[in-house]
Amino acid sequence: MDNGFELRRTHGKGEGVFATRSFRVGETVMVGVIDRELERNHSHASQVGAERFVLHGGLVPKVNHSCEPNCGIRLNSSGAHDYVARAPIAAGEEITFDYAMRNYSVGYFAARCRCGSRHCRGRITGWQDLPARRKADYHGFVAPYLIEMDDQADRALAARRDHRR
């Protein structure tokens, strides 16, 4: 059965997931399924809540990071991540997303990002490290708990400032 994607070798990044057909903006490219809960965050973990990490099944863990991704994240009814096209994807194109779209913090990747995009940040970061402009660019394509975590951090910072006065 052709789901519209397949695992292939990439140039310089090992394996990656590639489209076998085209996808329109807003179309679900891959449906996430949670394989198991994890005790902690690591390089293949997906954050699905403020303090909850899982390992997705299928090819979802093989989707590579890009600082200029063609997919974003949408939580499905099981709490897993679906990948949704945020740009048109042509058959043969690698399916990518920004790891910051699902994880608030990232600290376990090599010092240099290898995505090769023209908007590469130079390193893979989490949501908390993205500039406000990039966060705005990703509106509608990020996990909602990241927005909630930002709001909590902003409230905590405001409370500390008020306490100092």
Mean pLDDT computed over 83-98:
97
pLDDT at 9: 94
Mean pLDDT computed over 89-94:
97
pLDDT at 164: 67
Please say if the pLDDT value at position 163 is more than 70. Answer: no
Mean pLDDT computed over 113-129:
91
146-163 core/surface letters (b: 16 or more CB in 10 A; e: else): beebbeeeeeeeeeeeee
Q: How far apart are CA 99 and CA 78, in angstroms?
A: 20
What does the chain come to in residues? 165
In 3D space, the residue among 74, 39, 88, 80 whose CA is nearest the CA of residue 59 turns out to be: 80
